[in-house]
Amino acid sequence: MMGFKYFVIGSGSIGNRHAANLALLGAAVEQYSWRTIDLPRVLQKIADCNGNAGVIIATATNVRLPLIAQCAAAGAALYIEKPVAYRCDEVDQIFDLPDSILERSVAGFMMRYHPIVQYLLSHPVSNPFRASFEVGHDVRQWRKNWAFSDSYAADREGGGALLDLCHEIDLAWLLCEAPELSSVSSVNHPKFGGVDVASMLHFHFRTGCHAHVALDYLAPHLVRRGYILGLEEEVQFDFTKGTVLRTTQQESEVKSFTHDRNQMFLDLLVDFMSLAEGRKTTNQHVPRLKKLKDTCNAIAKAWKMRDFTGQIEADLT
């Protein structure tokens, strides 16, 4: 029987990370640059695996849909980097793929593997009525030898902070019991019209509770934190400090967590390989495509709903 084989399509920083991690895990892997790929030849190699193939799609968001469809038609399990898609009709097309593909495939929401998220999921706040999730960082500090203006992040089709930092939307959906999106306010840059450099999303719960998600390319240092406020307690969490503070009327308790960023990628990759190859996963909240349509729809709907209410002349060169 043919051994399982993995293909990484995309040679940017995230594609390179996945290829290196697959090799570290002992998988047979081939990596291709989207700019130079001989796609018919690679699709034939995937099809020749007769279902024993997994494909990690780490291309720019705006070129993914045909690639996703073709790899699925070739019988491969899929690992699609986030966001899966940014238009609602494309979300519908992806989630119309056969269940045999959706059940074995994942989206790249690796923050579900952060120990703080795991703790929050196992110790939920009862009777929540308000929540906040925020992430921000000066985009120029993200990578070495990298320019915002030359990157997909500056592309009005598939770029911008809302899509780039959509982990927090996934976390809001995961931790706050499927809120509905109410509004999206965004700020752009004079040189990059149509690209949000900061966005604020407002959600409401069916019970009348509220949550907001803030995302930006502008914060001078990394900010990644939030809170969930319930009738009996408040939980504040800070991913940069590695802390969770639980406060009730009687007491406060701080818990500290450590994590390795690449370990989250590895943990999700291990679960993807397990799904692809028919084994059990380690995380009950693995971002399996079969269960992600609502989250992906929320991201696409938020991108469509952006209301640009102002501009900021930050130096993004």
**Residue 92 shares a structural domain with residue 35:** yes
pTM: 0.95
**Residue 116 shares a structural domain with residue 62:** no
Residue 30 contacts residue 18 (beta carbons within 8 Å): no
Q: Convert the pLDDT of each residue in 10-64 to its tens digit.
A: 999 999 999 999 999 999 999 999 999 999 999 999 999 999 999 999 999 989 9
Please check whether residue 316 lies inside any domain of the structure. no
**Residue 138 shares a structural domain with residue 16:** no
**Residue 92 shares a structural domain with residue 137:** no
* Domain CATH code at residue 129: 3.30.360.10
* Domain CATH code at residue 99: 3.40.50.720
**Residue 130 shares a structural domain with residue 154:** yes
**Residue 161 shares a structural domain with residue 303:** yes
Please check whether residue 211 lies inside any domain of the structure. yes
**Residue 56 shares a structural domain with residue 97:** yes
Please check whether residue 248 lies inside any domain of the structure. yes
**Residue 160 shares a structural domain with residue 305:** yes
Q: Convert the pLDDT of each residue in 115-160 to its tens digit.
A: 999 999 999 998 899 999 999 999 888 877 778 888 888 899 999 9
Please check whether residue 294 lies inside any domain of the structure. no
Domain that holds residue 23: 5-110+264-288
Please check whether residue 132 lies inside any domain of the structure. yes
**Residue 87 shares a structural domain with residue 181:** no
Across residues 180-204, what is the average pLDDT?
94
**Residue 135 shares a structural domain with residue 87:** no
Q: Residue 1: is its pLDDT beyond 50?
A: no
Domain count, the chain: 2
**Residue 148 shares a structural domain with residue 188:** yes
**Residue 168 shares a structural domain with residue 90:** no
Mention every residue, 6+ apart, whose C-beta is less than 8 A from residue 131. Answer: 172, 175, 176, 209, 210, 211, 212, 226, 227, 228, 229
Q: Residue 245 corresponds to which tokens in the numbers above?
A: 């503070």
Mention every residue, 6+ apart, whose C-beta is less than 8 A from residue 31. Answer: 7, 8, 9, 11, 15, 16, 19
Residue entry with tokens 């040189």: 191
